[in-house]
Amino acid sequence: MKNLSVVLNVVLLIAVAVLYYLHFTSSDMGNAKNEVSGNNTIVDSNIVFVNSDSIVANYDYIKVKQKELENKSIKLDTEYKNRAQGLQSEFNNYQQNSSNLTMGQARAVEEDLMKKQQNLKLYEQSLMQELANDEAKISQELYDQVSRVVADYGRSNNVQLVVKFNQGSDVLFANEGLNITNEVIQLLNEDYKNGVSTSNADSTKVK
């Protein structure tokens, strides 16, 4: 089905292409400390960053959901093709037997085929919308999960600002010591493995 599978990739491109940030008013951002440990990781900083591409590539939740969407796309694509092939068979049969039909009969068959063609187009659109809705739901779940983990990390480490840093973001340079991506991925995968709910997402709102 034309363009049916294309929508699958959308969530991987935009799901985490957002700015995750937390602004706590308990301290002055201008007093951020830049103490660097032996492994070049800044151990006390009010500003850190995450790489959303790495999160998408390494978060187990995304891998599972991507596979589910792929399987669903294949199923819907098969259903669509079966309907399309059935309509094509009816059209071919009409062409082969049109000479045996009266003008009224031929007109009636043509109108029926046109109606079925329109219904097939509507069915295709409904499948596309169904996949788009699934992706929107996954995108929201992903946002909630990452936001919750980043918020918990921020509170535990006295972080005041977490930004997205990768190609296309507004950040042109960041010291690698500010990169908390691996920590966030580890926390996400641990929560996913343990079945942690996203019901605490409201606690991530900016204060």
Per-residue tens of pLDDT for the chain, all 207 residues: 444 333 333 333 333 333 233 333 333 333 333 443 334 444 457 899 999 889 989 999 989 998 999 999 999 999 999 999 999 999 999 999 888 888 999 999 999 999 999 999 999 999 999 999 999 998 888 889 999 999 999 999 989 999 988 888 888 888 898 999 999 999 999 999 998 754 444 444 444
Distance CA 53, CA 38 (A): 27
Residue 55 lies in a domain: yes
Predicted structure pTM score? 0.66
Cβ neighbours of 187 (radius 10 Å): 19
Residue 1 lies in a domain: no
- Burial (CB < 10 A; 0-12, 13-18, 19+), residue 185, is buried
Q: Provide the domain limits for residue 20.
A: 6-204
> What's the confidence (pLDDT) of residue 44?
56
70-78: long-range contacts, CB 8 A cutoff, minimum separation 24: 70/8, 72/131, 72/134, 73/4, 73/5, 73/8, 73/131, 76/1, 76/4, 76/127, 76/130, 76/131, 77/1, 77/4, 77/5
> What's the confidence (pLDDT) of residue 165?
85
Distance CA 80, CA 4 (A): 10
Residue 25 lies in a domain: yes
Name the token pair of 126. Answer: 């409904």
Residue 159 lies in a domain: yes
> What's the confidence (pLDDT) of residue 201?
44
- Tell me the C-alpha to C-alpha distance, in Å, between residue 107 and each of 8, 15, 42, 92, 103: 40, 49, 77, 15, 6
Total domains in the chain come to 1
Report the amino acid identity of residue 41.
T
- Burial (CB < 10 A; 0-12, 13-18, 19+), residue 157, is middle
Residue 95 lies in a domain: yes
Residue 192 lies in a domain: yes
